[in-house]
Structure 1
Amino acid sequence: MYADEKKLVNSKNLYLYETDCDLSPLDILRFQCDIYVGARTIRERFEDLFICKAKVIAKKRKGSIDIPEPTADRPFGPGLFCPSNFVPRSPIAIDGSEEVGVDGDRIVFLRLGASRAVKFDPKNPEASAVGLPRRPLSAAFIDKPWDIIRYLHLLLNDDAEFEIKNGADTEPPPNAVFDRSGGPIAICDGAKIEPFVFISGPTVIGRNAVVKSHSAIRASAINEGSRVGGELNSTVFFPYSNKQHYGFLGHSVAASWVNIGAGAAGSNLKNTYGEIRIDGEGTGLNYLGQIIGDHTKIGIQAALNTGSIFGICSNIIADGITPKSVESFRFGNEPAEIESVIKTARRVMARRNKELTSSMEELIRAWHRVLTEK
């Protein structure tokens, strides 16, 4: 995140409007723009580049569930409107003449004056673009969770350079080896690298994160407070998740408060070396491991299938190769009891001196009602 939030401008209107893209399970408990796409969220990237607080225009979720975070006030004012799954890599002027940025037939941004802004409809942004000049751009969009992996190396280079510019360490501690031939390596404040660790870039080890002894970390983002061990390749850990023991995870995304037990290992490549498909949909990727939702736990010695998606608040028990899809709120083959889910979340978060807020608890309970009702 930007080094000094006090420097972020509040007087300008930078709007991030949610789209209908399917980012589940990563956007079940957060806005689309608060998904980590490397070592920063999409929102943080906007704020770091634009030096301006972003305002979220939220979509209605299933069951009319709302994320308990501030959203943009209506009516909207003149400013810049961007889809919240667009990942910026360079700033765009917030003020100026009205204009639309496009990548092919996709809107990247709309710069709108007062009369158009007040009528802006996030479900139909094209209506606000009629008659405006169009500027062609090349843009990165996160339309599916695995698009994080598609753009990861590119974005991690940006992240590592950003963190280094803002004071992150770049030198290996004693008895650790850094290989920067593939990109920069940034070690943020409070991070601990134990002895006999190998790290290759581009990689960011976030604030107060821990990398355990004898680990090999390649091209990954280990975000704030996460603790990892074993072998990781091209993987993103959201804050406060654990994989402290031996075992491989590659081309994967683990959301917050995930725990991966000792010896669990994930496949990220099919034996046929072919394209990985999820629910019959081609990903365009030959390497893809696991997408793991918040508060999900994976048992020891689990063998994780290539291209798997696990929902939130589930407990995945090792019994041969795990299914490629596990719904939210499961305990092995049975439904998870919501009181047990809440009790576990409180206990896990307390170990990191964090609290399960009443609003987050109600959000989890609301999703349990919606996702488990028959």
Structure 2
Amino acid sequence: MNYILFDGPSRNNLLPFTFTRPVADIRVGILTIREKWEKHLGYSTTTVTEDYLSNKYPMVELDENVMINASYLPNKKLVETIKGLKENQAIFQGENVIAFFTKETQEEVDFETYNAIEFNEPILKIENTWDIFAINGDAIQEDFDLLTHDRTSQPIPSSNNVLGSEHIFLEEGATLEFATLNASSGPIYIGKDAEVMEGSIIRGPFALCEHATLKLGAKIYGPTTVGPHSKVGGEVNNSVIFGYSNKGHDGFLGNSVLGEWCNLGADTNNSNLKNNYAEVRLWDYQTEGFAKTGLQFCGLMMGDHSKCGINTMFNTGTVVGVSANIFGSGFPRNFVPSFSWGGSSGFTTYLTNKAFEVAEVVMKRRGIEFSEEDKQILEHVFEETKKWRKN
């Protein structure tokens, strides 16, 4: 069977992260959503997404296909139900489509003609940006169980202080010495060739993905994920870093999500709680205003390729778009549009030729090419987000 992950109606609620990737390639827990589905299904997947992303994330369609809403995270029961789908069958949760069987020749799908299968089991789902950190603890536990089943951890070096060793898993090449690991409140996963430097204090649930680094004396409160090839120092609480991003120095990051190729300057801090303890509002790209989240704790949402200078201060519930460069004293506003250059005193447009120069250098340092496809995606984002920049 051919499995295709589609963005679904939550795509726009997940901006700025879905400006540069399909919903399926969001990381939550240890793995991306696509990686979860592929491990559960035992098959590779392709994607139905926005046209401007389709060159980098193409769709492969065969005579018979199962389409899966990428907002839903797989579990054993759901995967069994999906694998049992027949022609003209669809799985629903309430009014939401989770998955359906389709033929290549079907241009449009009329679900009125489908036999509906209601899925009433508990399931993890991301509908909004803040769900990424809000469900991260449950997602880490599910991924931990999936990745470590019937496997044995590398031994934990004796120099470390450890609580709950049975819930700690070290992949091959992981290194850690003179650290404190407390897995009594959730699992701790240290990925392949990842490093935990001396003096780090970790309380699970926590995932340090492959080739990622915790700097000296880092303080990590779960549920937190540090994605592949990322470097993190200072204090981090309930946050998700997708990958290839750095928070290399002291400073606080809490209830936040960072995309890829982000960099937070030394002593950058974000607020995750308003002084009056009121509900946090976040910028909504669809309504073009600030919308209620229902959350008391919510920090920073930062899109791919965005960066900030030393001592940057982010207010509660700040949304930063793609390829923004923020610096200077004071608090920048709570919504920083993509390709903005400046800070609390005002912004100008960060021109694509300058932004591309930086992206090329940054990615080359990690041995990755800044491709023509990457340029085309960012050029589209630049044009699409022009209306929110004032100049």
Q: TM-score range by the shorter chain?
A: 0.7 to 0.9
**CA deviation map 1:272-315 (0-9, x unaligned):** 22321124311122211111011100111111111111001110
Q: Is the aligned partner of 1:82 residue 2:78?
A: no
Q: Name the aligned partner's letter for residue 111 of structure 2.
A: S
SS of match in other structure, 1:274: coil
**CA deviation map 1:223-254 (0-9, x unaligned):** 11000000111111111100010000011111
SS of match in other structure, 1:238: strand
Shift of residue 28, structure 1, vs aligned partner: 1.1
Report the Cα distance in structure 1 between the residues aligned to 2:33 and 2:24, rounded to whole angstroms: 5
Report the Cα distance in structure 2 between the residues aligned to 1:316 and 1:350, rounded to whole angstroms: 22
Q: 1:240 aligns with which of 234, 238, 244?
A: 244
Q: Name the aligned partner's letter for residue 78 of structure 1.
A: E
Q: Which residue of 2 aligns with 1:132?
A: 115
Shift of residue 222, structure 1, vs aligned partner: 0.7
Q: Which residue of 1 aligns with 2:5?
A: 16
Q: Is the aligned partner of 1:68 residue 2:55?
A: yes
Identity of aligned pairs, percent?
26
Distance 1:77 1:239, change over 3 A: same
Q: 2:24 aligns with which of 33, 36, 40?
A: 33
SS of match in other structure, 1:27: helix
Shift of residue 153, structure 1, vs aligned partner: 1.1
Shift of residue 136, structure 1, vs aligned partner: 2.9
Q: 2:125 aligns with which of 129, 134, 141?
A: 141
Tell me which stretches of 4 or more aligned residues in structure 1 moved more than 4 Å: 166-170
Report the Cα distance in structure 2 between the residues aligned to 1:81 and 1:134, rounded to whole angstroms: 14
Structure 1 segment 44-63 matched on structure 2, within 5 A: 44-60=35-51
**CA deviation map 1:329-352 (0-9, x unaligned):** 011111112111011111111222
Report the Cα distance in structure 2 between the residues aligned to 1:170 and 1:280, rounded to whole angstroms: 48
Report the Cα distance in structure 1 between the residues aligned to 2:336 and 2:200, rounded to whole angstroms: 33
Structure 1 segment 1-374 matched on structure 2, within 5 A: 12-21=1-10, 22=12, 23-60=14-51, 65-74=52-61, 77-90=63-76, 91-92=79-80, 93-98=82-87, 99-112=89-102, 114=103, 118-119=105-106, 121=108, 127-128=110-111, 130-137=113-120, 138-165=122-149, 169=154, 171=156, 172=160, 173-219=176-222, 220-278=224-282, 279-332=289-342, 333-372=347-386
Shift of residue 89, structure 1, vs aligned partner: 2.5
Distance 1:14 1:170, change over 3 A: farther
Q: Name the aligned partner's letter for residue 357 of structure 2.
A: K
Shift of residue 70, structure 1, vs aligned partner: 4.2
RMSD: 2.1
Further displaced range: 153-162 or 204-213: 153-162
| Structure 2 unpaired stretches of 5+ | 161-175, 283-288
Normalised by the length of structure 1, the TM-score is 0.88
Distance 1:15 1:168, change over 3 A: farther
